[in-house]
């Protein structure tokens, strides 16, 4: 999506094709809907639920043959960009000779201390197939150094990992989705606020987007925050602290948010648990 939008902004006509029925299928549906709306408004073509039949090149034209809802379709283009995900490149390392076990996708298996099945060998980063982000690789690398060289026996704590997709508007999440929270046995309370109730978005005149907060219905602890907005990646850091340190909806209500920032949207979403914020005369007061 990031690269598709980039090429669209550079003037290409872009069609995004994917197998899943909805964009970002692991995310809350509200997030998927907002992103789909944004991309469609920006005139990026979207094809979801596609099965790939074949790809062929005729002259300079690349033809992608797909089936969508039982119907055959052909998408023609000058260039094709295929995003297939990443795979640990461990085949040639002869890890079994060192007694280092790998998983189904050839990822190096580590325990809570980043140690492999060989107690003298540690691993960090994408090769372990955890959350594939550079800040996770850096954090794990630090723990490895502390444990392997410093003998500190530090445990990895990846319970709260923020994630950002750098589309425009950006998509940022931390904590768990409503579905996951319910699956984990929580009784949940959620609040969803459309960006057209956030003053920063109104003055930007870019109101397609959404904020969603998932909280535990009994303790009111915030379990997850999910955002589609300009600067969502900046806003998510506050939410990361909220989730990591177990703050509640009430804590957020009691904390001031500066007017005309996107972060104010967080507080307005909290207030939406109890009232319709579009009726406030000013600010998240
Ligand atoms: C297009 C793209 C955009 C991304 N954007 C972001 C982003 O915005 N924010 C973010 O946090 N993360 C982003 N990431 C993810 C981030 O790049 C990775 O999570 C991070 O680089 C992982 O670091 P690493 O050290 O574990 O692995 P890598 O950075 O992949 O380093 C592994 C190194 O090992 C070498 N290597 C591989 N196999 C062997 C072998 N068999 N023998 C010897 N050497 C080998 C490779 O050449 C490479 O130098 C992005 C990734 C991609 C692909």
For residue 141, how far is its CA from the centre of ligand 1 (angstroms)?
13
Here the tokens at position 35 are 């992103």
Ligand 1 pocket residue status of 132, Cβ below 6 Å: yes
174 plus 257 within the same structural domain = yes
Protein residue closest via CA to atom 37 of ligand 1: 89
Neighbour order of strands in the sheet with 170-175: 163-165, 170-175, 222-229, 210-216, 188-194
Place of tokens 């099965």: 51
What pLDDT shows up at residue 275?
A: 83
User: Is the N-terminal amide bond of 170 cis, ω within 30° of 0?
Assistant: no
Atom of ligand 1 nearest to the CA of 90: 41
- The Cα 81–Cα 62 span in angstroms is 11
CA–centroid distance, residue 130 to ligand 1 (Å): 12
Query: Which two structure tokens, joined as six digits, stand for 165?
Result: 């997709």
Residue 283 within a domain:
no
Distance 126 CA to ligand 1 centre (A): 6
Which residue's CA is the closest to the ligand 1 atom numbered 24?
Answer: 125
Which CATH number covers residue 40? 3.50.50.60
* C-alpha 175 to ligand 1 mean position (Å): 24
Q: Which ligand 1 atom minimizes the distance to the CA of 132?
A: 19
Does 16 share its domain with 49? yes
Q: What is the 123 CA–ligand 1 centroid distance (Å)? A: 14
> Does one domain contain both 60 and 99?
no
Residues 178 and 262 in one domain: yes
If asked whether residues 62 and 116 sit together in one domain, one would say: no
Token pair in block for residue 4: 């598709």
- As a whole number, the mean pLDDT across the chain is 96
Locate tokens 């150094």: which residue?
145
Residues 123 and 119: their CA atoms lie apart, in Å, by 11
pLDDT in tens, 68-110: 999 999 999 999 999 988 899 999 999 999 999 999 999 999 9
pLDDT band at 201 (very low <50, low <70, confident <90, very high): very high
- Residue 284 pLDDT > 90, yes or no? no
Ligand 1 near 125 CB (within 6 A) = yes
Same domain, 57 and 99: no
- With respect to residue 32, please indicate whether it lies within any of the assigned structural domains: yes
Boundaries of domain holding 123: 91-148
Q: Please tell me the number of Cα atoms within 13 Å of 63 on its side-chain side.
A: 10
Distance CA 68, CA 66 (A): 6
Q: With a cut of 90, say whether residue 279 has pLDDT above it.
A: no
> Sheet harboring 50-58: ordered strands across?
50-58, 61-68, 71-77
* Residue 265 contacts residue 195 (beta carbons within 8 Å): yes
- Asked whether residue 243 carries a pLDDT value surpassing 80, the answer given is yes
CATH number of the CATH domain containing 205 = 3.30.390.30
Q: How many separate domains does the chain show?
A: 3
Domain check: are 185 and 238 in the same one? yes
What is the CB neighbour count within 10 angstroms for residue 154? 16
Supply the residue whose CA is at minimum distance from atom 27 of ligand 1.
126
> Ligand 1 pocket, 135 CB below 6 A?
yes
Q: Which of 54, 77, 100 is the last residue of a domain?
A: 77
Q: pLDDT by residue (tens digit) across 30-74?
A: 999 999 999 999 999 999 999 999 999 999 999 999 999 999 999
Check if 111 has its Cβ closer than 6 Å to any atom of ligand 1.
Answer: no
Please tell me the predicted confidence (pLDDT) of residue 172: 98
The DSSP string of the chain is -HHHHHHHHTT---EEE-SSSSTTTTS-HHHHHHHHHHHHHTT-EEE-SEEEEEEEEETTEEEEEEEETTEEEEEEES------------GGG-GGGGT--B-TTSPBP--TTSB-SSTT-B--SGGGTSS--HHHHHHHHHHHHHHHTS---PPP--SS--EEE-SSSEEEEEE--HHHHHHTT--EEEEEEEGGG-HHHHHHT----EEEEEEETTT-BEEEEEEEETTHHHHHHHHHHHHHTT-BHHHHHTS---TTSTTHHHHHHHHTTTS-GGG-SSTT-
The β-bridge partners of 55 are 64
Q: Does the beta carbon of 134 sit less than 6 angstroms from any atom of ligand 1?
A: yes
Q: Given pLDDT bands bounded at 50, 70 and 90, which one contains residue 285?
A: low
Identify the domain boundary among 51, 77, 103.
77
Name the region of 185 (left: φ>0; alpha: ψ -120 to 50; beta: rest).
left
Burial 221-239 (b: 16+ CB within 10 A, else e): bbbbbbbbbbbbbebbebb
Please report how many Cα atoms fall inside a 13 Å half-sphere around the Cα of residue 150, on the Cβ side. Answer: 11
> Last residue of some domain: 77, 107, 129?
77
Q: How far is the CA of 214 from the centre of ligand 1 (A)?
A: 32
**34 and 107 housed in the same domain:** no
Which structure tokens are listed for 167? 């589309």
């Amino acid at each position: 999506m990031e690269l598709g939008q980039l090429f669209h902004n550079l003037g290409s006509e872009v069609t995004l094709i994917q197998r899943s029925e909805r964009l970002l299928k692991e995310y809350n549906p509200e997030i998927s809907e907002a992103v789909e709306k944004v991309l469609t408004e920006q005139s990026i073509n979207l094809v979801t639920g596609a099965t790939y039949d074949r790809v062929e090149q005729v002259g300079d034209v690349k033809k992608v043959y797909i089936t969508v809802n039982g119907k055959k379709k052909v998408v023609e283009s000058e260039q094709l960009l295929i995003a297939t995900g990443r795979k640990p490149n461990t085949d040639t390392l002869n890890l079994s000779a060192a007694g280092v076990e790998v998983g189904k996708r050839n990822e190096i298996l580590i325990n809570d201390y980043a140690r492999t099945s060989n107690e003298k060998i540690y691993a960090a980063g994408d090769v372990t197939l955890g959350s594939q982000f550079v800040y996770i690789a850096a954090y794990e690398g630090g723990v490895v150094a502390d444990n392997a060289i410093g003998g500190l026996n530090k445990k990895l704590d990846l319970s709260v990992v923020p994630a950002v997709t750098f589309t425009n508007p950006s998509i940022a999440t931390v904590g768990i989705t409503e579905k996951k929270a319910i699956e984990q046995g929580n009784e949940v309370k959620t609040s969803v606020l459309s960006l057209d109730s956030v003053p920063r978005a109104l003055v930007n005149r870019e109101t397609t987007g959404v904020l969603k907060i998932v909280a535990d219905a009994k303790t009111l602890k915030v379990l997850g925050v999910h955002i589609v907005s300009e600067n969502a990646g900046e806003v998510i850091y506050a939410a990361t602290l909220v989730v990591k340190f177990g703050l509640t909806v009430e804590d957020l209500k009691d904390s001031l948010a500066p007017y005309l920032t996107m972060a104010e949207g967080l507080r307005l979403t909290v207030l939406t648990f109890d009232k319709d914020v579009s009726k406030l005369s000013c600010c998240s007061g």
